[in-house]
Amino acid sequence: MMNPSKSGWIKKYFSILDNYHESLDQYPGAILSTEELFYGYLQPTGVMYGYPTSLLFLENDLMDELSREEAFKILLLEGLILTDHLKQGKFDIDALENSLEAFVDFYEQTEIEHAKKGWFHFKDQTPYEKLESIIAQRVDIKTSFSNKLWTTYLYNSLVFHDLILYHEYHDGVPAEKLKYKHQQLAADVMKIIAIAAHADGELTEEEEAIFEVFMASAKLDKDDRDDVKAYWDGDKGIDDLTLNYERSWVINRYLMEVAVLTVWSDRIVVQSEKDFLELLTEKLGIASDEHDKSFIAIQAFVMNNYETVPFLRGKNDAERLMDGASERWKNILGRNKDKLAAELKESKDLMALIAKSTTEELSKEEKEKARLQLKDLARTIPSLTLFMLPGGSLLLPIILKIIPDLVPTAFRSNHIDEEKNEHGETDEKTP
């Protein structure tokens, strides 16, 4: 049994790692970019939000035997392995210690974290021991919180930064530049959370909880903390946000998702918050539908985990989410509605699976079959790639809401009949 709370766990991890290549072959690079694959694997695990819900390469049954802190340690290691695979085409398990040394070098050269020196000779520490020390420090947040609503369950919510920057480290970005970028990115995340929290003119308990745990994770110096406080106090706003450094697609996506997570933390998004997200979209210089996609990603995460993550409340919220997700998918896929209908009519098996997903959980084999068929469609309709990501099968019923008459009645056990009432309006009923 592997115990990430005791020394030697990384070596044990690799001894039980089996067929991880199968997990890495889910999404074709011809459709999704390296950054999209990086995001697609990691977003559903909860690492972006500071709460581990699934592992990348080990069986998720192991989660029941681990504390959340232990699971988060494993997830950080797996994120580093994933990045190696995506950037090099493979994880060099035959030269394992060299790969682990690269992880350690990244952390220490960028000064994000340092391995603690041993009692005797630091030079005698193995790469395994150094990395275990670094990961333990990165996951842990040594602080006390006044607000326990979310923070009881969260660990270092900025660990995802490490993986983003290690992604760039592979591209040869100098360590000194990454050190500076790490500090800027941490401060900007805090500023965006503060602006988002003020967007509706009212600070909620949920927003304060998010701000506290991210601030504890950020480890900002005094000048940056004072600057962030000005945003939290409402003295500065989005017009003061500079974001004057090179940002990849995944950094922009992360910043947008942090904003969405904050405005949506009370499950209500008012017009002023929608306006803020539009302004942030412009500030980041990204496509106008990016905040809709960020909403969908967070909604899929919540719908997939509301029973296990304490701060995700209850099933009623998940049902409300599905309705909201439907509207956003209509915005994203609407322009491809006719093309989508034409393509889907050629795949009766996929239509049957979509229909079945509206009334019952698909089996693992059925989800895989749906994903493979959606992969083919995504070659002509790129927006469908989001359905291919982990958790995407939960969004399949939305296709029926977008194109309600697409699937033949024979395939639809929850077929909705429409009748005209005496006022000539459409009523919907389920027989």
Neighbours of 236 (CB within 10 A): 18
Q: What is the rounded CA–CA span in Å between residue 406 and residue 419? A: 18
Tell which residue, 283, 313, 91, has the closest CA to residue 195: 283
SS3 state of residue 332: helix
Residue pLDDT, tens place only, 288-308: 778 777 877 777 777 667 666
pLDDT score, position 140: 78
Sign of the C-alpha dihedral computed for residues 236, 242, 245 and 248 taken in this order: positive
Q: What is the rounded CA–CA span in Å between residue 151 and residue 385? A: 33
The residue length of the chain stands at 431
Going by C-beta distance under 8 Å and a sequence separation of 6 or more, which residues neighbour residue 113?
Answer: 107, 134, 137, 138
Q: What is the rounded CA–CA span in Å between residue 222 and residue 411? A: 62
Going by C-beta distance under 8 Å and a sequence separation of 6 or more, which residues neighbour residue 425?
Answer: none
Using alpha carbons only, what angle is made at residue 218 by residues 199 and 278, rounded to the nearest 5 degrees?
Answer: 25
Which residues, listed in sequence order, are joined to residue 428 by a DSSP beta bridge?
Answer: 418
Q: What is the rounded CA–CA span in Å between residue 256 and residue 277? A: 8
- Longest alpha-carbon distance in the chain: 87
Using an 8 Å Cβ cutoff, are 37 and 250 in contact?
A: no
Q: What is the rounded CA–CA span in Å between residue 357 and residue 285? A: 36
Neighbours of 168 (CB within 10 A): 19
Using an 8 Å Cβ cutoff, are 399 and 370 in contact?
A: no
Helix axes 159-169 and 127-139, enclosed angle (nearest 10): 140
Using an 8 Å Cβ cutoff, are 264 and 299 in contact?
A: no
Using an 8 Å Cβ cutoff, are 161 and 50 in contact?
A: no
pLDDT lower than 50: segments of the chain: 144-153, 314-315, 406-431
pLDDT score, position 124: 73
Residue 38 burial (C-beta neighbours within 10 Å; 0-12, 13-18, 19+): buried
Q: What is the rounded CA–CA span in Å between residue 242 and residue 16? A: 46
Beta strands in 114-208 (DSSP E): none
Name the percent of the chain lying above pLDDT 70.
67
pLDDT score, position 420: 40
Query: For residue 285, what are the CA distances in angstroms to 252, 292, 387?
Result: 9, 15, 25
Note the Cα 61 to chain centre separation in Å. 21
SS3 state of residue 426: strand
End-to-end CA distance of the chain: 52
Neighbours of 73 (CB within 10 A): 26
Note the Cα 325 to chain centre separation in Å. 16
Using an 8 Å Cβ cutoff, are 11 and 128 in contact?
A: yes
pLDDT score, position 177: 93
Note the Cα 147 to chain centre separation in Å. 24
pTM of the model as a whole = 0.76
